[in-house]
Chain A
């Protein structure tokens, strides 16, 4: 009854969750950035598909932003940064990979349990999209708390934003204002992060944010 368009939309949203999980166990910065690019690419496909089945041509713009900016420009810039800082070594993971993966699976289960009953009356397409989008958001959060490296925290934040864009496009007819603003805020956020990375580098000779923890304001 739902048809082909529905199935493809689901498959793409599912792929995005899969890419999120894949980001969790990347322990090298370059491979993490590659997975981030893949993540954004899947998002672009998913958004483009939504644009097609919803007959909403403005969503193609969002898809294009996801493709050009998030999947190509940002990973390339981050990669350059990693190279220039000379930190293409292993990522220090705070908790073990196995535990992180289990936690990620738990978060997916959690978001399904929370969202599906809450959205019984909503349109079925949006309904499952939003549940998957929430898992992407939560996994992005998990990634940000388990990583100690500034670049991987940025990657976690980007994947979180991708989840939100997925949710926004899944909700039919959501005004364009929001999508553009999301893209725009990511741009600003990215510039700021870039500045910060260089400032961090200047002061500490590392982008490991653990170095920051030593400078708690209340120590003497």
Chain B
């Protein structure tokens, strides 16, 4: 009974991809896309209740359940948004029916890749899955075939491949470190075996491996010296993909990083991974916060905000300890939900205005009240104002850092304030003041956006006890 749930989480997207490839009508395929995502989410939601045994290739444990449920949920809401988004793209002729068929196949393939990466118990298999998800998104970023889209896809492809290649090198080094202890063969790549034996691994080899893994998967997380692909990919691809990139793919790469961080933490003589992650995270946070000011493109603006938040999350996991990890997990969940809600709104805004430039967008709350206020609420939430969930997790991050490293906490708070100012300044220009740009009617599905925002709001006011205990338990596992 229970293992079939994992089977559905993986099988539904794969099967749907195959079926979608054969359906020419975009209405049917958009509906099917949504149904497949819903089925995967339903199966994932049953995982915390009926936990399957972990096998040699797949596993479900306390850590990845959080990620799987979040992943399939946002995957589902994004597919609902996608259905209303692409109808408009087809009308305006930016995409043809043929491209849409391709788009839906790639969407499900990407979901399959991400889900597989999350449930993989074999570090080689996890790598393959991340690579698959990356390739699927590369193709989707370039789907509009404008000059800018092709540049973005090319840059993403090249940087993503280099990152993924470095991650594979790191994976091989982990295998080499494990081989003398676990023995040659497939067992030395099985994560559940690795983690129990990590104590005896050669620490110097593990250290080098972690540097490669941090750079490799860190490229996909969007950490700063390696972030160049991220704003372009977000800005030039279809907006549902921007939402999924920010909300999910970055998390999947982060998850891979966390797995290896746990290996390193389990070895007493290996380098502590915390300081490296804190340094990269802090640099990302400060850099992206400053970059928020001078943006001219609305999707780039929120892409930089994603870099800022991923930096903060990596920093929190670097600080570690029960509170640091708890805050990191919470921040990651809240960011996924809020950022994808923002992109759902931005997608419709851009369609109404016919432009992504901030100078073409103004006075949204007057011309499109529901959309405009949705965006304002989303930005207020992502900027970290109470009563939303992001406020709580950012507060936890700053306070737990303050207990350990007061100077660093000051830097983090400084970065958050800079970002806060930038976001409020930008949103006041978009949402209030005189109306700029076109003011045509909007056909939007608001449900996904407000569903996300409602969850974030509720989480900011009251977190249910079982969820808190679950997160606390996972935070302890992360060390």
Instruction: Indicate whether A5 reaches chain B with its CB closer than 8 angstroms.
Output: no
Q: How far is the CB of A80 from chain B (nearest CB, A)?
A: 21
Q: How many residues in A have their beta carbons less than 8 Å from beta carbons of B? A: 52
Contact A120 B168, CB 8 Å, known A196-B150, A212-B154, A217-B236: no
Q: How far is the CB of B403 from chain A (nearest CB, A)?
A: 34
A171→B158 contact, CB < 8 A: no
| Interface residues of A, dominant DSSP | helix
Instruction: Indicate whether B279 reaches chain A with its CB closer than 8 angstroms.
Output: no
B236→A175 contact, CB < 8 A: no
Q: How far is the CB of B351 from chain A (nearest CB, A)?
A: 18
Q: How far is the CA of A200 from the CA of B295 in the complex (A)?
A: 27
B107-130 vs A, Cβ < 8 Å mask (1 yes, 0 no): 000000000000000101101100
Q: How far is the CB of B302 from chain A (nearest CB, A)?
A: 13
Contacts of A171 in B (CB 8 A): 172, 175-176, 179
Determine which residue in A117, A137, A153, A218 has the highest number of CB atoms from chain B within 10 A of its CB, and name it. Answer: A218
Chain B residues close to A by CB (< 8 Å): 122, 124-125, 127-128, 131-132, 135, 138-139, 142, 145, 147-148, 150-155, 157-158, 161-162, 165-166, 168-169, 171-173, 175-177, 179-180, 184-186, 188-189, 202, 204-205, 207-208, 231-232, 235-236, 295-297, 300, 357
Contacts of B154 in A (CB 8 A): 150, 196, 200, 209, 212
When the two chains form the complex, which single residue of A114, A174, A220 contacts B172, counting CB atoms closer than 8 Å?
Answer: A174
Instruction: Indicate whether A66 reaches chain B with its CB closer than 8 angstroms.
Output: no
Instruction: Indicate whether A119 reaches chain B with its CB closer than 8 angstroms.
Output: yes
A-B pairs with beta carbons under 8 Å apart, 7 shown? A120-B204, A150-B154, A164-B165, A171-B175, A192-B157, A216-B148, A217-B151
From A19-27, A38-46, A86-94, A181-189, give the one contacting chain B: A181-189
Within 8 A of B (CB), among A144-185: 144, 150, 153, 157, 160-161, 164, 167-168, 171-175, 177-178, 181-182, 185
B128→A185 contact, CB < 8 A: yes
When the two chains form the complex, which single residue of A118, A141, A164, A217 contacts B232, counting CB atoms closer than 8 Å?
Answer: A217
Determine which residue in B122, B128, B231 has the highest number of CB atoms from chain A within 10 A of its CB, and name it. Answer: B128
Contacts of B132 in A (CB 8 A): 185
When the two chains form the complex, which single residue of B128, B184, B205 contacts A173, counting CB atoms closer than 8 Å?
Answer: B184
B131→A217 contact, CB < 8 A: no
Q: How far is the CA of A168 from the CA of B172 in the complex (A)?
A: 6
Contact A177 B122, CB 8 Å, known A171-B175, A212-B150, A218-B300: yes
Q: How far is the CB of A17 from chain B (nearest CB, A)?
A: 15
B179→A173 contact, CB < 8 A: yes
A215→B148 contact, CB < 8 A: yes
Q: How far is the CA of A171 from the CA of B189 in the complex (A)?
A: 12
Contacts of B153 in A (CB 8 A): 196
